[in-house]
Amino acid sequence: MYKLLGRATSGNVQKVLFLLQELNAEYRREDYGRQFGNTATPEYAALNPTRKVPTLLDGDVVIWESNTILRYLASSFAPSSQSPATAASPKTLYPADPAMRSQIERWMDWLLASMNPVYLSGFRDAKKEPAERAADTRPKLIDELQILEENLAGRDWMAGDEFTLADIALGPIISRCVKFPFDLPPFPALAAWIDRLQQRPAFRSATGG
pLDDT more than 90, % of the chain: 92
Cα–Cα distance, 77 to 27 (Å, whole number): 12
Contact residues for 58 (Cβ-Cβ < 8 A; gap 6+): 2, 72, 76
The pLDDT, as a whole number, for residue 35 is 94
Containing 63, the helix (H) or strand (E) segment is strand 61-64
pLDDT more than 70, % of the chain: 97
The answer to whether 54 and 63 are in contact (CB under 8 A) is no
Q: What number is the average pLDDT over the span 173-189?
A: 97
Q: What number is the average pLDDT over the span 168-177?
A: 98
| Interval 9-48: pLDDT, tens | 999 999 999 999 999 999 999 999 999 999 999 999 999 9
User: Reduced to 3 states, what is the DSSP secondary structure of residue 152?
Assistant: helix
Count of beta carbons in the 10 Å neighbourhood of residue 190: 23
| Interval 84-114: pLDDT, tens | 766 788 889 999 999 999 999 999 999 999 9
| Interval 53-91: pLDDT, tens | 999 999 999 999 999 999 999 999 988 756 676 678 888
The answer to whether the bond into 84 is cis (omega within 30° of 0) is no
Torsion of CA 49, 144, 98, 155, to 10 degrees: 140
| Interval 115-168: pLDDT, tens | 999 999 999 999 999 999 999 999 999 999 999 999 999 999 999 999 999 999
The pLDDT, as a whole number, for residue 79 is 80
What distances in angstroms separate CA 138 from CA 122, 178, 200, one per listed residue? 8, 11, 29
The pLDDT, as a whole number, for residue 78 is 84
Q: Give the pTM.
A: 0.95
What distances in angstroms separate CA 143 from CA 47, 90, 123, 139, 149, one per listed residue? 37, 32, 16, 6, 10
The pLDDT, as a whole number, for residue 87 is 77
What are the beta bridge partners of residue 4? 29, 56
The pLDDT, as a whole number, for residue 82 is 64
